Amino acid sequence: MVYKKAPKSSGDLPDSSQTPAHPATSAEKERRYSGIGSSKGFAVGEAHEFVKEIIDHKIAELNEENIEEEIERFQAALNRSEKELKKIERVTTRKIGKLYSDLFQAQIMLLRDPVLIDTITRRIRQELKPAHLCIEQEFEQYLGNF
């Protein structure tokens, strides 16, 4: 997922000097975003847009020599992800309450799932596939069950 800063909403609106004879260009037209509000009421400020992009991963050849390195990389990614989620959970709890931060606790539990971790680790070893491919395929399989 890629993080992009969206233009300020006031810059998207045509100014008062524009009339139907001078319509706003497409870049000046209002942009509307919808989503789940994190607090009651209205707010004015910058909008941030998350855009999902397909990433072309380099598929590294794994062999007996670099399998353990790939598994260590996978474990390090799990640890980094957990730290980030805990930080987001703390901020969410402080700003909008424990009820909303429980979502992040569920994600942390998923990262710690021993069955998932063992399955991915086993697939890296047996199939000589990079971690990101094993993770992607496992989550596709998980999602297919729901």
Q: What is the DSSP string of 16-73?
A: TT--TTSPPPTTTS--------SSSS---S--EEEE--------PPP-TTTHHHHHHH
Residues contacting 60, CB < 8 A, separation 6+: 66, 70, 130
Contact, 111 vs 83, CB < 8 A?
no
Q: How far apart are CA 129 and CA 100, in angstroms?
A: 36
Q: How far apart are CA 17 and CA 124, in angstroms?
A: 62
Please give the chain's pLDDT, 146 residues, in tens.
444 444 444 444 444 444 445 455 555 667 776 776 666 777 677 777 777 777 666 667 788 889 999 999 999 999 999 999 999 999 999 998 888 888 899 999 999 999 999 999 999 999 999 999 999 999 898 888 87
Q: pLDDT at position 3, please?
A: 45
Q: How far apart are CA 110 and CA 102, in angstroms?
A: 13
Q: pLDDT at position 52, please?
A: 72
